[in-house]
Amino acid sequence: MALRYGVDPRAMSTLPGLDPETLDNDLIRVPNHTMWSICELITLTGIAEAGVAAGASIAPGALDSWGYLFATGDSLADGLRAAAHYSPAVTDPTAAFEVVEDGRLLTVRYRGIEAVPRLSFLHEWVMGMLLRRVQDATSTAATPIRVSFAHAAPRSHRYLTHAFATANIEFDAAASEITFIDPEAGTPPTPRDPELDRIVTRYTEMMMTSAKAPPDWHSTFLQVVSDALARDEVSLDAIANRLCMSTRTLQRRFEEQGTSWRDEVEAVRHEKTLRLLGETDLTVESVASRVGYADARTLRKAFLRWTGQTPDAYRRASRV
């Protein structure tokens, strides 16, 4: 969506968690600060309707199993409560979703995350997404009777009136929320299969408890260098390119951590050499080749500097 609204790809190239390996792994969560940064970048485009349009465009399945929870249970209220309960499967656990029932009125409240400014894009995205999910769950063109936003009013909110099909829109609220009239109690939102509901719920719970953060840039850097050593392709330009950042950005990150390109590559060679000597029977010549040294003599000299002993002495001691 950011690219669609004209955000420069270079502005996102250094954000962690956007590499194909992360995006293709259902159990790895894109870092929250990456998501907030993308929200800010889209906000800076000045396209007022971007948030609500992005939320409304999310088709079933785009949010994995979580999006299907809206259609589980014996009523729309049940589905909304299930989605609110399992919202940590798709967002930061501190972002509170709450379902409030008042007679036949159903309100979904979103308080967002305190550490994040009340970006209009983010809150309008969430309200637009909730509207789309309710419409998909009920198989109707359900329209809210009221929508509130935690952010300040824009110069014109005509696009919101059009998107939510209601003029009852408020701003500067304590929380962003959207209110519907609940269908008749006991009426499922759509024809449903209780066993499928159970499977979707259990899978969402598994996703929520199994999700993990992607490795940070430094961990990724160490792995990229380790892989490149065996191919003798270790250079600042090559590694920076693999990390989708400029050489200057990479060097700046080293400076921030009080280290340098040379020290970091040396550390990878050191760790990989210790592992190969301790876990394999490769000759010192072969180990030297795998860690990017021209010959065994160069490795022995470096190893003596690292440990104060020769590779052969270290191998014997590690296997006693």
Thinking of the domain 217-318, which architecture would CATH place it in? Orthogonal Bundle (1.10)
CATH T-level topology, domain 9-210: H-NOX domain (3.90.1520)
Q: Which residue has the tokens 């007679």?
A: 103
- For residue 142 the two structure tokens come to 């359900």
- For residue 140 the two structure tokens come to 């109707």
The amino acid occupying position 165 is A
pLDDT per position in the chain (320 positions), as tens? Answer: 898 889 988 888 777 778 777 778 877 778 777 888 888 889 889 899 999 999 999 888 888 899 999 998 888 899 999 999 999 888 877 788 999 999 889 999 998 776 566 788 989 999 999 999 999 988 888 899 999 999 999 999 999 999 999 999 999 999 999 999 987 654 555 667 889 999 999 999 988 888 776 667 787 788 888 888 877 788 999 888 877 678 888 888 899 889 999 999 999 999 999 999 988 989 999 999 889 888 999 999 999 999 999 999 999 888 76
d(CA 70, CA 50): 24
Contact by Cβ (8 Å): 135, 141: yes
What are the structural domain ranges in the chain? 9-210, 217-318
d(CA 56, CA 133): 9
Q: What is the pLDDT of residue 106?
A: 94
- For residue 185 the two structure tokens come to 């109690």
Which of 251, 303, 233 lies closest to 272, judged by CA? 303
- For residue 153 the two structure tokens come to 């009013």
CA distances from 241 to 24, 162, 221, 249, 259 (A): 20, 44, 11, 11, 20
Q: What is the pLDDT of residue 190?
A: 61
Q: What is the pLDDT of residue 320?
A: 67
